Amino acid sequence: MCSYCGCDSIEVIGRFMAEHVEIINATGDLRAGVHSGDSAAFGVARARVAALLWPHTEAEESGLFRIMAQDEVYASHIETLCGEHQTLAGLLAAITPGDRAAMARFEDALRDHIDKEDNGLFPAAAIALDGPQWVEVHQTTPHSHDGGEPHVHHHAGGHDHHGAHPATPATRG
């Protein structure tokens, strides 16, 4: 996690970084489930990672990524990060109990992806975006309050309710 520039003090970036920590912690439980070969523990752990990862990637893509991609300087990098979200879905779906190699591929890709965001994109966003852009990021990023349904804040103050990506990454489209 970036700790040198203060970008985590920006609400949405701080949220995404905290979610990264939660996803990495859940991935540790998944690794334990894979290594144990216990199908039940593995299934619960993989479902937990998916339940954290897909709403997170949807929120990144809907708000911050969409706004940053409007600048041609960042568009290609954002496209790469979105592609990595899809790759992570496939890697997660490919893991089976006892398949340590598949687990290692997923975890390495996940950690590399998070590093690109925490130590690259997020600090760049803190510098590149202006006040109105941050307002738009905040308004278009799905939020979940107190475990409720994720929703988006709009300029008029209304809410649109959105479901998260399915827990089965292979069906994520």
Query: pLDDT tens string for the chain (173 positions)?
Result: 445 555 554 679 889 999 999 999 999 999 999 999 899 999 999 999 999 999 999 999 999 999 999 999 999 999 999 999 999 999 999 999 999 999 999 999 999 999 999 999 999 999 999 999 999 999 999 975 334 344 343 333 333 333 333 333 333 33
CA distance 23 to 54: 10
CA distance 88 to 72: 25
Q: What is the DSSP letter of 147?
A: T
CA distance 23 to 18: 9
Exposed / middle / buried, residue 161 (Cβ in 10 Å: 0-12, 13-18, 19+): exposed
Q: What is the pTM of this model?
A: 0.80
